[in-house]
Chains A and B, each alone.
Chain A
Amino acid sequence: MRKYFVLVVPAALALALVLGQMRTRANAPIAVGVLHSLTGTMAVSEKPVVDGTLLAIEEINARGGINGRLLRAVVADGASDDATFARQAERLIDQDHVSVIFGCWTSASRKTVKPILEKYNSLLFYPVQYEGMETSPNIVYTGAAPNQQILPAVKWFFHNVGSRFFLIGSDYIFPHCANETIKDYLRFAGGRVVGEMYLPFPSHALKSAVSAIVKARPDVILSTINGDTNIDFFEALHAAGVSPQKMPVVSFSMGEEELRWVNPLDVAGNYAAWSYFQSLQDPDNQRFVQRFKARYGSKCVTDDPIEAGYFGVYMWAGAVAAARSEGVNEVREALRYRSYAAPEGTVYVDAENQHTWKRIRIGRIRADGQFEVMWASEELIHPVPFPVTRTEAQWNELLNSLYVKWGGHWANAENRARAEGRLAR
């Protein structure tokens, strides 16, 4: 009897230990990465996206998590530097073992992180509109593709305002590619590009750039300027007496959050094209804005990337719940045509390219720093990452040529260094 007892007791203990481990594992929180610039030139835009992402995580945890497991957010700072983004992404995946990363803003940072995601077969939810020309099984694009933001907006201004356009942007991959797309369209439609200029990233001396714009006398200024350069740009325009009635600026990277940093009276009357504006009257949006303000303060605002960061978490959580697994392959499968009633309206994940079906809206800046929606697309727009004016191979060739020209970077590092005064010559 004692012999059996000696055998049975350790076996039972071992079994209890294994079951206990399994139970602990089953209830352990799911680690999720949040990777944005908390410092540097992009922090002004990216910090609020972190807030939107964390709000969604908190709401999901308050409802009991996903399939009984809470979410544990691991926040990392990309510091507005592509190399730092890459390092932090690798750390999140390799050391913190996150199941998914919600992050990146600039295309340069996303493109630097992409090979790491593909190496580890991890998943990134990217919340910002971008230039397209990319698909990856490891990225879910919750921002707009060019045919969902840039092209419809240019088309609208071409038909409603004028045919002479001035293109100005930050000197990195997104503005260059976006402007190529715009030029292709205008060439076909019969419009004219009267000037094209790229500003160092960041850039604060914009007098000469504004002089060039004034001299070219465009009907519309299309701006793909990113980060806090927008503040200086609008100040310089205002100082030069450029009014939105004569030369409206259409911004593709400036939302409510960036408007907080400029005098709204200086920019009122200009435009932006996004899928989401805080001023949308939909009850779902009103509730979202209320929750956001209740959490982060009444002076805070919501904008398109914040909202995309927010619904991206819900989209992922829904897929994890449906797949009953946070494994990348299972989640990817569950994301096919998954829909979510986001504050901007119901959005869907495209099964073929993992971009999001969404609407576009054109908003005019009001004196209170909010937008008045002037036009919205009739229906959801199918995301087409590679604009159809050129073949996929031609777009890839353009990307490669810029990458080579910039010495293996996705931004013009020389221009940036010159702006920061680091180049002696």
Chain B
Amino acid sequence: MKTWLLVVSMVAVAVGVAWLERSPVPTWVIGLGMVSGWVVDSILGLMLAVRYVPYNQLEVPHDFLSSLCQVIGTIYAVLISFSIIISWQVFTATQTIVAQEANAVADIDRMARGLPVPIYRQIHEAARTYTHLVIAHEWPAMASGQESPLAYAALVDLWHIYSDFQPSLRSDPLYQQSLSRMNDLSGARRVRLLAIHSRVPTVMWILLYGGGVIVVLTSYLFRVRRFWLQALVIGLVSGMIAFCLFLTAAMEGPFQGDVCVSPDAFSFVLDHLQ
């Protein structure tokens, strides 16, 4: 294959992968595209390396090269595993906070049953409205990085019921407990909304992608007699790197894409509030 064709193919595959990452296709398609794109590009790169790297004239000792590659590989492995773990932690923490918020709504409604009927009805209606809006309006909004003004208004409505309590009812232990749970609810909501904007910093992405490319490039400095064997090993390594990058990207926004925190906890509570 001609050199220019190899280079054009590599660029085309890279551009294709970049486009795929931004297109509204299912996450698994993006994952498949990223992994196969990296594998194809790394093999095309190997073909170029075999053609142009003067392996016979390399005066660097094999052991030194090997050690260097090990260091680079280790640093990159630490870096990427750190990114995956952090993304995963944010993801699970968001799941937990969503469950806590939904639990607070359920507790508020349950405790309101001990209050006078007109107040219970107000609280029940406001809690149901808030839960419904979080599922139906805020979750789709969060997928595009926004919050729902309606869900916020419903929460303010709920707060107003408690702030309008008659002084004689404020000594009721249920009132005190309910206020505490209202604070939990508001706090959990704030954390959930902050998580919408939780992102891996751009510098980190540059490091992750750049590091991945460097790891693949350093593997080209070694020559194996059988090309297919070297292509297989390099393809596997780059495929693994691509998959790790994909995993980090998929979990990056906890409310975006197919791999996202679901509103199941709220749905469960809403079923019991109906």
Question: Is B121 touching A381 in the complex (CB atoms < 8 A)?
Answer: no
Query: Is the CB of A288 closer than 8 A to any CB of chain B?
Result: no
Which of chain A's residues has its CB closest to B124's CB? A388
Which A residues between 381 and 425 are near B, CB-CB below 8 angstroms?
Answer: 381-382, 384, 388-389
Chain B residues within 8 Å of A184, by CB: 118
Query: Is the CB of A348 closer than 8 A to any CB of chain B?
Result: yes
In the bound complex, what is the Cα–Cα distance between A378 and B154 (angstroms)?
Answer: 11
Chain B residues within 8 Å of A380, by CB: 149-150, 153
Question: Is A337 touching B136 in the complex (CB atoms < 8 A)?
Answer: yes
Chain B residues within 8 Å of A352, by CB: 132
Chain B residues within 8 Å of A190, by CB: 166
In the bound complex, what is the Cα–Cα distance between A184 and B118 (angstroms)?
Answer: 9
Query: Is the CB of B110 closer than 8 A to any CB of chain A?
Result: no
In the bound complex, what is the Cα–Cα distance between A44 and B79 (angstroms)?
Answer: 74
**How many residues of B sit at the interface, in one of the four size bands?**
20 to 34
Query: Is the CB of B129 closer than 8 A to any CB of chain A?
Result: yes
Question: Is B166 touching A189 in the complex (CB atoms < 8 A)?
Answer: yes
Q: A381-B157, A382-B153 are in contact. Are A337 and B125 (CB under 8 A)?
A: no
Cross-interface CB contact of A388 among B125, B136, B137, cutoff 8 Å:
B125
A355 to chain B, nearest CB (A): 12
Question: Is B121 touching A389 in the complex (CB atoms < 8 A)?
Answer: yes
Query: Is the CB of A28 closer than 8 A to any CB of chain B?
Result: no
Query: Is the CB of B152 closer than 8 A to any CB of chain A?
Result: yes
Q: A189-B166, A337-B137 are in contact. Are A382 and B121 (CB under 8 A)?
A: no
In the bound complex, what is the Cα–Cα distance between A95 and B243 (angstroms)?
Answer: 64
Query: Is the CB of B271 closer than 8 A to any CB of chain A?
Result: no
Query: Is the CB of A17 closer than 8 A to any CB of chain B?
Result: no
Question: Is B125 touching A384 in the complex (CB atoms < 8 A)?
Answer: yes
Cross-interface CB contact of A188 among B118, B124, B156, cutoff 8 Å:
B118
Query: Is the CB of B144 closer than 8 A to any CB of chain A?
Result: no
B135-166 contact mask (Cβ, 8 Å, vs A): 1 or 0: 01100000000000110111011000000101
Query: Is the CB of A357 closer than 8 A to any CB of chain B?
Result: yes
A366-388 contact mask (Cβ, 8 Å, vs B): 1 or 0: 00000000000011111010001
Question: Is A381 touching B132 in the complex (CB atoms < 8 A)?
Answer: no
In the bound complex, what is the Cα–Cα distance between A348 and B150 (angstroms)?
Answer: 8
Chain A residues within 8 Å of B118, by CB: 184, 188, 388-389
A337-354 contact mask (Cβ, 8 Å, vs B): 1 or 0: 100000000101001100
Which of chain A's residues has its CB closest to B125's CB? A388
B206 to chain A, nearest CB (A): 38
Residues of A participating in the B interface, judged by any CB pair closer than 8 Å: 155, 184, 188-190, 337, 346, 348, 351-352, 357, 378-382, 384, 388-389
Residues of B participating in the A interface, judged by any CB pair closer than 8 Å: 116, 118, 121-122, 124-126, 129, 132, 136-137, 149-150, 152-154, 156-157, 164, 166
Given contacts A379-B156, A381-B153, 15 further A-B contacts (CB under 8 A): A189-B166, A337-B150, A348-B149, A352-B132, A357-B153, A379-B157, A380-B149, A380-B150, A381-B157, A382-B126, A382-B153, A382-B154, A388-B122, A388-B125, A389-B121
Closest 3 CB pairs between A and B? A388-B121, A379-B153, A380-B153
19 residue pairs bridging A and B, Cβ less than 8 Å apart = A184-B118, A189-B166, A337-B150, A348-B149, A351-B136, A357-B150, A379-B152, A379-B156, A380-B149, A380-B150, A380-B153, A381-B153, A381-B157, A382-B126, A382-B129, A382-B153, A388-B121, A388-B124, A389-B121
